[in-house]
Structure 1
Amino acid sequence: MLHDGGRFQMNVAQSLGYGPQDRLLIINADDYGLCHSTNSGIQSLLQDGVVSSATIMMPCAWAREAALWSARHSQLDVGVHLTFTSEWSAMKWGPVYRDGPVDSLVTSEGYFCKDAKSFERQADPVQVRQELNAQIKMALQLGVNLTHADNHMGSLYGLQTGRNFLKQVLEVCANYGLPFRLPRNLLLENGQLAPAELANQARKHAEEADRLGVVVLDYLLGLPFRSQANETYDSFKVEMIKLLQHLHPGVSEIIIHPSLVTDELYAFHEEPLKRGMELELFRDPDIQETIRAEGIIPVKWRDLRALQRSQTRP
């Protein structure tokens, strides 16, 4: 149970029928569709039940392979990784939308901006909304049974400049009946609750999601995307175990970016070995034992989708 300004508020776990102290966990594989190596790695994790779900970057060259495979495996949870940035120098991508101007979303080369700050500064909200719709429609047209939506590199949250596009994405998600990756409670890197000002801002965004009928998370977690100084697989595993041991009651999502480590990945990616670590991490017996020992309950995005659609059904 969350305390909010003198009143009590149910967490998402309670809305799903669990107890106020139950800790539910979604493990999502981001960047599905990035390349064939990433697709192969994520598909193996999905099929083996190692991750809860994955999200496809529809503007990427290998998104079609990911989408068609996902359409054939509709029992697995796959969402759309709404993408507005193109971060690697050797491999680029741009908008899916083809029916009008996209100039505010791209560089002079026609690709998405390299970083979220540039996107936040120049993007036109109308063009953002058109691109959001286009990416979701493309996934649906390819047959994906979309369970949820989230956002590549946090470009829609306004983390760099304060100029966010949450109104647009929440309205689009409401229209398609999709829950969205947005934490109701903001955590610092050490897992503690954020200061009041930041926490209140996150809560206001969650309240807007509530108003629109979009189900969001209680907590969002992840370890650093890039390799840390002197990091090894074992030290990385220790940090993930700590993260799992300190989950708060409610529904938490942990983000990973797994991939097979191949010549293809090395050709463009600056952190191939870290991606390989993340591929193995949740297969690790020590991680699996931690989840069991902590009494953490696996949950799916499709459970949150069912909750959302049951609440908004006429």
Structure 2
Amino acid sequence: MKGKFLVINCDDFGQSAPMNAAIMHLLEERRVSSATIMAPAPGFEEAAAWCKKRGQSNIGLHLTLTSEFDALRWGSLTGHPSLHDASGHMYQTVEAFERGANTAAVVQEMDAQYERVRQAGITITHADNHMGSLYGIATGRSHIPQVLMKCAKWKVPFRLFRHVHPEDMMAAVPGVERAVGKASALAGTLGVAIPDYLLSHPFEVEEGETYESFKQSIIAKMYRLPEGISETYIHPAIEDAAMLAAIPHWEKRVWEYRLMLDDDLHAALKDAGVTLTDYSFIQQHGRASRLRSVWALGTELLRK
């Protein structure tokens, strides 16, 4: 398979009404590839009802094990005490989750979130993870094997990547190449499709950053996109005074929404030879050879 293919996924669908409004609009206008929905979040019912009414066929599961904002908290669906902090909500940081969560409880919560989405009438096309809490980034305590086994059972792709793009923020994480090698080999062994690359950008508004500078930085990345299947993810939201006051860096979410509607971005994608696609394409083309994956996984596990 030759060419440059890009999935643009809207994370946090179901987080709140202002995020729902932005994501619904972008999906209606086909300015993005897909969205992933948060089963425990307060805006879930609105998002799920909209998806069911439209028969939306590009919705994934945003596995949610953290609740980061002081002004917007939620608990788990299962209510297991190891998934909550002293306030009774999910942990605010990935580190706290990794240190406190019981693995069996995490697996049960993933099942509960999948079932809630299924019972809402949504057939998911893929899965990913809110704040990367399952990856083991903060303390090294990863739940990647558990989530990949779930995706194998659900027969959906998962947000991982085979190669570290040198421009991605993950490239600076010590040991990331080996971790990616093991995780992608396990995905291949289990028959779970994944993208080749993941391209992320800072969640926060950086010092001196404006909408125009943010836009140009994303457009520049489109021209440097590698061959293969890449995914980038955004957190679009409409401008909302209450959220601007209560949620850190809400302005960046508004910029992401604006960017997806900006004709300059879509002209750049075309000019750079990038094809916007979705997770059905990854499901078809994102599987590795199981035999080679087993060999690669064994090699990685035997390395000192």
Q: TM-score normalised to the size of structure 1?
A: 0.87
Q: Which residue of 1 aligns with 2:34?
A: 53
Shift of the alpha carbon at 1:145?
2.0
In the alignment, what sits opposite 1:111? Answer: 89
1:212 maps onto 2:180 in alignment: no
On the 8 A contact 2:194/2:286 being kept in 1, the answer is: no
Rounded Cα–Cα distance in structure 1 between residues aligned with 2:231 and 2:56:
20
SS at structure 2 position matched to 1:169: helix
Once residues 76 and 224 of structure 2 are traced to their aligned partners in structure 1, the CA distance between those partners, rounded to angstroms, is 39
Cross-structure match for 1:80: 61
Q: 1:299, CA displacement in angstroms?
A: 1.2
Instruction: Give the match's secondary structure for 1:214.
Output: coil
Q: Name the one with the larger helix percent.
A: 2
1:93-125 Cα distance to aligned partner (Å, 9 max, x none): 011125xxx111111221111000110111111
Comparing 268-277 with 36-45, greater Cα deviation is found at: 268-277
Structure-2 residue corresponding to 1:248: 226
C-alpha deviation, 1:288, in angstroms: 1.0
Cα separation, partners in 2 of 1:88 and 1:196, compared to 1, 3 Å: closer
Offset of residue 268 of structure 1: 2.9
**CA–CA distance in structure 2, aligned partners of residues 61 and 268 of structure 1:** 16
Query: How many pairs are equivalent?
Result: 289
Shift in Å, 1:304:
2.5
Question: 1:286: how far off?
Answer: 1.5
Give the SS at the match of 1:67. helix
Residues 177 and 308, structure 1, Cα contact 8 Å, conserved in 2: no
Shift of 1:190: 5.4
| Structure 1 residue 125 corresponds to structure 2 residue 106 | no
The Cα shift of 1:256 comes to 0.7
Q: 1:97 aligns with which of 75, 78, 81?
A: 78
Provide the residue aligned with 1:141 in structure 2: 119
Following the alignment from structure 1 to structure 2, what is the Cα–Cα distance between the partners of residues 60 and 249?
Answer: 36
Contact 1:97/1:130, CA 8 A, preserved across alignment = yes
CA drift of 1:303 comes to 2.6
For residues 94 and 195 of structure 1, the distance between their equivalents in structure 2, rounded to whole angstroms, comes to 30
Which ranges in structure 1 are unaligned for 5 or more consecutive residues? 1-13
The residue that corresponds to 1:305 in the other structure is: 283
> Cα 1:286–1:259, aligned 2, differ >3 Å: closer, same or farther?
same
The one of 174, 199, 205 equivalent to 1:227 is 205
Look up the SS of the partner of 2:125 in the other structure. strand
More divergent stretch after superposition (194-203 vs 133-142): 194-203
Q: Deviations over 1:59-112 (max 9, x none)?
A: 1011111111112223441111101111100110011125xxx11111122111
Code of the residue aligned with 2:251 in structure 1: it is: L
- Letter paired with 1:56: I
Measured in 1, the distance between the counterparts of 2:78 and 2:281 equals 30
Report Cα offsets for 1:171-192 as digits up to 9, x if no partner: 1111111110001112344589
Structure 2 residue runs of 5 or longer lacking an equivalent are 291-304
RMSD: 2.1
TM-score (normalizing by structure 2): 0.90
Task: Give the whole-Å Cα distance in 1 for the aligned partners of 2:127 and 2:110.
Answer: 10
1:40 match = 21
Please list the CA deviations of residues 150-182 of structure 1 after superposition, one character each: whole Å capped at 9, or x if unmatched. 000000000111110001100111111111000
Pairwise CA distance, 1:266 = 2.7
Deviations 1:237-265 (A, max 9, x none): 11101111111111100111100111342
